[in-house]
């Protein structure tokens, strides 16, 4: 399946930030504060194929606000990696295609080839964040939101997201055939 129509509706990261109403300063800070090692930078810059990353998300979502800046930093380091964001609320029908356990999760991160066909995907949050959330005893929705906001302020959680995304960028590049 190709996601041409959705890619065309999606916007670059900078445009997403300009139209965002929530979590803007958090996303800017996370983008700037994320430490990327020389090895990680070399891996990103060594991407040989065009990899398009389509994120289904919203500025209201703490998981989107926590992970989108990591993806934006990755994309900023390679001319081969392109990032666009499509609003999950305005495109709910499209978002429905990616339910997990019957629920819509955000963000959904799709790694696509140059024809905008899916190579692999990542949904909602890094494994370390799931572990922490699952350890909470019967948290209320507000408690979970507060915990997530605090969680994504932890540099180690951002590093976990970075590691998971780098793995998928490399995987997409390998699927496409490195020379």
Domains in the chain, number = 1
Confidence label for 88 from pLDDT (cuts 50, 70 and 90)? very high
CATH no. for residue 23? 3.40.30.10
pLDDT digits (tens, 9 = 90+) for 102-141: 899 999 999 999 999 999 999 999 887 777 767 666 567 6
- Side by side, the strands of the sheet bearing 51-57 are 81-87, 51-57, 108-112, 118-123
The candidate with the shortest Cα–Cα distance to 157, out of 125, 118, 116, 109, is 125
Model pTM? 0.93
Per-residue confidence (pLDDT) for residue 157, from 0 to 100: 87
């Amino acid at each position: 399946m190709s996601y041409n129509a959705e890619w065309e509706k999606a916007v670059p990261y900078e445009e997403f930030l300009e139209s965002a109403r929530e979590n803007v300063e958090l996303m800017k800070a996370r983008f700037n504060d994320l430490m990327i090692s020389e090895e990680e930078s070399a891996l990103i810059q060594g991407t040989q194929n065009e990899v398009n990353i389509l994120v289904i998300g919203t500025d209201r979502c703490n998981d989107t606000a926590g992970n989108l800046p990591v993806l934006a930093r990755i994309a900023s380091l390679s001319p081969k990696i392109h990032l666009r964001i499509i609003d999950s609320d305005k495109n709910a029908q499209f978002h429905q295609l990616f339910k997990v356990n019957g629920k819509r999760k955000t963000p959904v991160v799709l790694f696509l080839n140059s024809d905008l066909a899916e190579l692999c995907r990542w949904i909602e949050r890094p494994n370390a964040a799931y572990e922490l959330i699952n350890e909470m005893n019967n948290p209320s929705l507000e408690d979970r939101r507060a915990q997530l906001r605090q969680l994504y302020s932890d540099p180690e959680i951002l590093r976990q997201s970075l590691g998971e995304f780098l793995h998928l960028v490399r995987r997409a590049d390998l699927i496409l055939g490195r020379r």
